[in-house]
Amino acid sequence: MKNEIKTALTFDDVLLKPLYSNILPKEVNLSTSLSDSINLHIPFISAAMDTVTESEMAISLAREGGMGVIHKNLSIENQALEVDKVKRSESGMILDPITIKSKETIRTALDIMNHFQISGVPVVDNGKLMGILTNRDIRFESNLDLKVSDRMTIENLVTVKEGTTLEDAKIVLQKHKIEKLLVINESGALSGLITVKDILKKEHHPNAAIDKHGRLIVAAAIGVSDDTLERAQALVNAYADVLVVDTAHGHSKGVLDTIKKIKSKISNIDVIAGNVATSSGTQALIDAGVDAVKVGIGAGSSCTTRIVAGAGVPQLSAIMNCVDEARRHNIPVIADGGIKFSGDISKALAAGADAVMIGSLFAGSKEAPGKLIKI
């Protein structure tokens, strides 16, 4: 078979031709869908890199309508904890609030409140709601060895039933001048928590990307190692909305087998996988069961695939080739890599991508992992 050299384009090779427009920038709708359950108000996803995305970046991006992908260069426990931080950061109603037992000490309660950065915890014994302990109860307490039961609020607990709307909750919170509202089920057991802080966050970020429970959306990366299924299950248990099979070469047996295994073993979880740069690679991922395809090999600023392996496809052509195949199956495409300037985002979307994954433009921001050092 004769070798054939084809012309391919990257972002620097093209410009978008300006034409007549009758809309203003503020009227443009940039919302996109990555699956039936994942809807974004802006088509921005932060890269699963240890210099780019942990909980702080994921929270900040989701509040603006995008999505962060927690990197996998963490222990399973710590990656799941980062996901948990995002899901607990704000919510219409906290479905599984942090609780404490009445026999625990004030010291333990303070440790919990400091760790999770919360101002109070419901007190639950054997599933029964006993009271609530807040900063107000222990603000000037000097004896930290006292039991929680010695200082918690027990009488006149303000509660609401499951199904209470946020508007109704605001009325109750204002009437009783409290900041935390306990939600109970028909049997009187604690089933949730509504806080003033969460309501205010929702009002301040009306375009936030949220799940069906009002929590911020977050994704988490996995690989193809021996502990992949264990990691995937731990992330799902922490309520990750999406698992991203993140590899340099997605059109490979290991990646395809991993996708099939996750889809068969773990129910009700969306899977994004990559990276690919060809229509055949896109087809293979779709056949394996992905909900969205990640496109880009060697295009990233810190990627060495083209240098080390000599492999890759110029990114603009890769996007167009993969989009042509994905559209036939109604599967979204994420352009991952090669975004050096804001104009590259426009070019990627014009080429048919449903969203872009960004690394270098987010790295070094105050929300990215790591601290700036003054020298």
Instruction: Kindly report, residue by residue over 287-323, the tens digit of the pLDDT.
Output: 999 999 999 987 655 566 666 666 778 899 999 999 9
The answer to whether 197 and 227 have CB atoms below 8 angstroms apart is no
pLDDT score for 92: 72
Flag the least confident range among 90-99, 262-271, 324-333, 366-375: 366-375
Greatest Cα pair distance in the chain: 84
Bigger pLDDT: 202 vs 175 = 175
Read off the pLDDT band of 180 (50, 70, 90). confident
- How many C-beta neighbours within 10 Å does residue 146 have? 15
Bigger pLDDT: 186 vs 2 = 186
Read off the pLDDT band of 187 (50, 70, 90). confident
**What pTM was computed for the model?**
0.83
pLDDT at position 324 over 70: yes
Report the share of the chain in percent with pLDDT over 70: 94
**What are the Cα distances from residue 110, in Å, to 103, 121, 131, 267?**
14, 10, 16, 37
pLDDT score for 188: 81
| Mean pLDDT of the region 237-249 | 95
Please name the residues in contact with 56: beta carbons below 8 A apart, sequence gap of 6 or more.
367, 368, 369
pLDDT at position 341 over 70: yes
pLDDT score for 260: 97
The answer to whether 218 and 209 have CB atoms below 8 angstroms apart is no
DSSP 76-114: HHHHHHHHHHHHHH--SSBSS---B-TTSBHHHHHHHHH
Query: What's the first-to-final CA gap in the chain, in angstroms?
Result: 58
Flag the least confident range among 94-108, 182-196, 259-273, 331-345: 182-196
Domains of the chain from N-terminus onward: 22-90+208-358 (3.20.20.70), 106-204 (3.10.580.10)
pLDDT digits (tens, 9 = 90+) for 208-242: 999 988 899 999 999 999 999 999 999 999 999 99
Flag the least confident range among 73-77, 146-150, 240-244, 367-371: 367-371
**What are the Cα distances from residue 27, in Å, to 24, 133, 344?**
5, 47, 21
pLDDT digits (tens, 9 = 90+) for 14-47: 999 999 999 998 899 999 999 988 999 999 999 9
